[in-house]
Amino acid sequence: MPETANNKILKDSIRAIIFDLDGVLIKNIPHHIVSWQYAFKKFGINATKKDLLLLEGMSYKETINFILKKYSKKLNTVDREKIHLIKKEKVKTLLRVSPYPYVSMLLKLLKKRGLSLALVSGANKKFVQKIVDKFFKNFFKVIISGDDTNKNKPNPEPYLLAIKKLKFNAKEILVIENSPLGIKSAKKAGLTTYAIKTTLHKKFLLSADKIFFSHKKLLKEFQKSLTGP
């Protein structure tokens, strides 16, 4: 899918932009993948990197259930929770969260141009707020965490809630995602969706309206469309 700018859409129609967090604003997905693999291996399951990348955005319970089903492994509720706890403890030893290059410039540009910004993440509220306070304070008008909804991506509920809180029509909102489940969630909510290729090959992102291969190219798109004639 080509990266041709649609200046009219951005300049005349879009009033708000919703960002996913992990893999879009912050570079932490590899740490989560390694931690999931470590936890599953404790129970004799060799989950692949691809397995887990394609599940990004799911709740931890759904992720565990999916992997157990795929590898025909039966575990009781206690052991399923142990997998999650092992994963959480492991990721703490690895996680060094930092924003992707150009993210700060992008957010400053969008805010300066008067666009309302929102954040939709499947992560728990405590983690999301910690990241926002550290790196993205005063940027987001609306923040939706995994604790705010009953269903996670690919269900549209997280994005539908963001639309409601932003108080704009779905046609006036653009989403930036990096995962197939996130894209599916946003599209089900009726939102135009851009994908950024940070973790998966573009063949997994083809349902997005446009694909970008770096944050720098995404920034250039907005610079062109928001500052052009």
Residues 182 and 110 in one domain: yes
Best CA proximity match to 218, nearest among 57, 19, 54? 19
Residues 127 and 188 in one domain: yes
Residues 105 and 198 in one domain: yes
- Write down the pTM of the prediction: 0.85
From 57, 73, 94, the end of a domain falls on: 94
Best CA proximity match to 152, nearest among 163, 143, 161? 161
Residues 80 and 121 in one domain: no
Are 210 and 195 contacting, i.e. CB atoms less than 8 angstroms apart? yes
Span 196-223, average pLDDT = 96
Residues 216 and 120 in one domain: yes
- How far is residue 18's CA from residue 55's CA, in Å, rounded to a whole number? 20
Query: What pLDDT band is residue 60 in, cutting at 50, 70 and 90?
Result: very high
Q: How many domains does the chain have?
A: 2
Residue 190 in any domain: the answer is yes
Residues 211 and 168 in one domain: yes
Other CB atoms closer than 10 Å to residue 81's CB: what's the count?
A: 14
Best CA proximity match to 196, nearest among 9, 14, 8, 27? 27
Query: What pLDDT band is residue 12 in, cutting at 50, 70 and 90?
Result: low
Domain with 188 in it: 7-28+97-227
Residues 197 and 148 in one domain: yes
Residues 36-53 pLDDT 10s: 999 999 999 999 999 999
- How far is residue 226's CA from residue 17's CA, in Å, rounded to a whole number? 13
Residues 79 and 190 in one domain: no
Burial class (CB in 10 A: 0-12, 13-18, 19+), 56: buried
Q: What is the mean pLDDT of the chain?
A: 92
Residue 89 in any domain: the answer is yes
Residues 171 and 186 in one domain: yes
Residue written as token pair 């983690």: 127
Residues 90 and 166 in one domain: no
Residues 58 and 158 in one domain: no
pLDDT higher than threshold 60 for residue 229: no
Are 28 and 97 contacting, i.e. CB atoms less than 8 angstroms apart? yes
Residues 145 and 200 in one domain: yes
Residues 164-204 pLDDT 10s: 999 999 999 999 999 999 999 999 999 999 999 999 999 99
Tokens encoding 177: 């995602």
From 94, 129, 147, the end of a domain falls on: 94
